[in-house]
Structure 1
Amino acid sequence: MALQFDATEYAARLDRLTARMRDDKLDALLLFAQESMYWLTGYDTFGYCFFQTLVVKVDGSMTLLTRSADLRQARHTSTIDDIVIWVDRVNADPTMDLKNMLSEMDLLGCRIGVEYDTHGMTGRVARLLDNQLTSFCQIIDASYLVGELRLVKSPAEIAHAERAAALADDALDAALPLIHAGGNEAAILAAMQGAVFAGGGDYPANEFIIGSGPDALLCRYKAGRRTLDAADQLTLEWAGVSAHYHAAMMRTVVIGEPSARHRELYAACFEAIKAIETVLRPGYTFGDVFETHARIMDERGLTRHRLNACGYSLGARFSPSWMEQQMFHTGNPQPILPDMTLFVHMIIMDSERNTAMTLGHTYLTTAEAPRALSRHPLDLIVK
């Protein structure tokens, strides 16, 4: 088997999960999130774009229901022994196969949790699933159960996060010599992604974000490449990836002499991140992090230019996003605990003056002050 962690790591994760299931009085759990299956068993695939689910019973036994294309994938990359195949055919309803399988697992009338809030669960699948199981068992929405367990990282996971951060630094190092007047976004993007691959890293769970000129104000990937002007701005958001564990970074690079507005927005970003470092520790919440960001931005008159979130938890993620479920937004009561990997980003987009400024990197929380995983400083980059 091609596993990223040793057997004791996976056993400890299963013990944590079944303990939580007992606390929540769940007899079984249907995992549809690929990251949940990967975290629990090592199962590594993109087959979650089709129907598949991992059934975990409270006694620790597991059965995967998937397509034939993923049979060998599951055998080779996971600790799962029991694999059942549903057959591709006209008008196939794999939820019927699932109900029959659950019956054979003696789960009729039991209390079963389901991961609904995931990209591995389409609206159509949810309707089919509910139709099959409503009269079969008691369904509980357990969308965030495994995600909450994954927030705190083990030492083995932290090692991958640290490696991912080193690859993110390598990507920036590869990009910087190419950022200049006449430089092309295509070459910059190729160099960054190439550095991650050359260092033994993986594809990210979403595309790297690159945009210059007016596109620097976008914080999503879009098609199309541009050549940099003598006076320009380039926004980059990217991640190093190791065994699917992500460490993200974000910068807006100024080409030519920075405008007064660029310097003003950078000062706000830097002040906010340094202030967040004082609350990115036990005793505070994710909501406290956002309120710190919002207070500083709002005091500087930047309310309409900032976003309504300023970061999120990172970990092992799959397409279409490397963002975890827990985000820094107003009112989030999630406590900050040691050994979380958290991406803090400042994003200010002034559309009125066509000026962008971003700043961010990934931190590892500790019992006290957080530790930035990047070796790059938070200085304004001018080329």
Structure 2
Amino acid sequence: MSIDVAREQNMNDQIPFAAFSEAEHRARIAKARERLAAAGLDGCIIVAPENLFYLVGYDSVCASICPQALILSVHDDRDPTLLVRNLDLPLVKETSWLKNVRTYQLFVDDVATVVAEIAHDYGIANGRLGLDMQSPAVTGSYTNALAQALGGAKFDDVSQLLNWIQLVKSPAEIDFMREAARYANLGLEAARRTLQPGISEIALCAAVENAARQAGSDYPALPIECASGSRSAAGHATPMPKIIGSGELVHLEFAGVARRYHSVSMITMATGEPGVGARKLYDVGRESLVAGLEKCRPGAQVADIDIAARKPIERAGLDEAAQMRFGVGIGLAYPPIWLSALQLDRFSDGILAPGMTFYVHSWLSLPQDRLGVMLGGTYLVTDTGIETLSGAGPEELYIA
């Protein structure tokens, strides 16, 4: 073992819950600086918890509770400075290698003023600054306070820029994605095993979540989606105390999580024969999913994938039932969302590349018939194609 490797191993031993090596984080910071410089920025104030985790390893939900910030200079080689509430300092020390950490006392110190002081120290306070403004952690009041403290600064939104550098996963990140997929697939097995007429949606979801969490899954960025019977036409439905009857469709969407990396499973099942209309809707959804997946490969234009997935739906005359984009990037995430900047739809110009992870779905809804189906899962782009990570995918309708 080399001296450098031994030194880094010793450092990681002192950080009990570090997910990645310091070297990997430093490479990410260098990439962020390169992209920020290319965008003409002098520095950046980073608030979103997923970006803090990605760049310096700090793992905490506190960004949505208390103001915090990572101040990064593009032209100064010094490490960035992380500002957190004083009671959260132990969380930094157990997950991050970063030594430039400052704290504040809630209701005593003015957070925006402290950020401005740090920015002045880096010489970027009067420069062009970025802010990840699409994060729910960046509230309007916090943005206004930062702008005022920095002398009326106007920020460039760097949410997409910071997310795009995360799209291609490192080998260590892919390991976490595979671990998350294992948890998601255990949840899938529990759903098939547990579903029966007479069970409530809440009880079904409890079995799914319990299977994943008992195996080691972290908490997901979104609650489990579940809808049955007359509710199945609705998307983004959370479970209700509804009793699932016989001959009903039931669809679920949920994630397994490993160190904040998400892998999503989706499935539509039925409690007995659901009827001709439900069967037809499911079969069209399955054909759509197959058609889209066949176009997913390295170098593929995301617009071509979405267009291919819609053709079976159009042939069936169900255009109005297709209320989805075909896919979305997935990976590192915190509540309240797990979507990334990668959108697999006909309005986007993205290209799939090896190392990207995404989830796809065929989501069809007929509100007038009170029917809806959801099929899909999570995939990894390899050098030659795609690898299934989690989800039922385009399987035949599962009948409990």
| Pair in the same fold by TM > 0.5 | yes
1:124-182 Cα shifts (integer Å, max 9, x gaps): 2222223333545x633222111000000011111111111111111111121221111
Matched-pair contact (CA < 8 Å) for 2:344–2:350: no
1:222-249 Cα shifts (integer Å, max 9, x gaps): 3632222122121111111111111101
Paired with 1:99 and 1:144, the residues of 2 have a C-alpha distance of 24
Paired with 2:227 and 2:294, the residues of 1 have a C-alpha distance of 31
Local SS of the residue matching 2:325: coil
1:344 aligns with 2:365: no
Matched-pair contact (CA < 8 Å) for 1:207–1:221: no
1:23-56 Cα shifts (integer Å, max 9, x gaps): 2333221111111111111111111112111112
1:305 aligns with 2:351: no
Matched-pair contact (CA < 8 Å) for 1:133–1:139: no
Structure 1: which 5+ residue stretches go unaligned? none
Matched-pair contact (CA < 8 Å) for 1:35–1:318: yes
- Matched residue, 1:129: 146
Matched-pair contact (CA < 8 Å) for 1:272–1:293: yes
- Residues 1:193 and 1:303: Cα distance change in structure 2 (over 3 Å): same
1:357 aligns with 2:373: yes
1:283 aligns with 2:290: no
1:102 aligns with 2:123: no
RMSD: 1.9
What is the identity, as a one-letter code, of the residue corresponding to 1:185? E
Paired with 2:228 and 2:78, the residues of 1 have a C-alpha distance of 51
- Residues 1:170 and 1:223: Cα distance change in structure 2 (over 3 Å): closer
- Residues 1:328 and 1:377: Cα distance change in structure 2 (over 3 Å): closer
What is the identity, as a one-letter code, of the residue corresponding to 1:81? K
* Identical pairs, percent: 27
Q: 1:34 aligns with which of 43, 46, 49?
A: 49
Paired with 1:29 and 1:145, the residues of 2 have a C-alpha distance of 11
1:176-203 Cα shifts (integer Å, max 9, x gaps): 1221111232322111111111111101
Local SS of the residue matching 1:236: strand
- Matched residue, 1:85: 103
Q: How does 1:1-383 map to 2 (within 5 A)?
A: 1=15, 2-49=17-64, 50-58=66-74, 59=77, 61-89=79-107, 93-133=110-150, 135=152, 139-222=155-238, 224-374=240-390, 376=392, 378-379=394-395, 380-383=397-400
Paired with 1:174 and 1:300, the residues of 2 have a C-alpha distance of 33
Structure 2: which 5+ residue stretches go unaligned? 1-14
Paired with 2:306 and 2:149, the residues of 1 have a C-alpha distance of 41
Runs of 4+ in 1 over 4 A off after TM superposition: none
* TM-score between the two structures when normalised by the length of structure 2: 0.90
Local SS of the residue matching 1:237: strand
* TM-score between the two structures when normalised by the length of structure 1: 0.94
Matched-pair contact (CA < 8 Å) for 1:115–1:142: yes
- Residues 1:375 and 1:147: Cα distance change in structure 2 (over 3 Å): closer
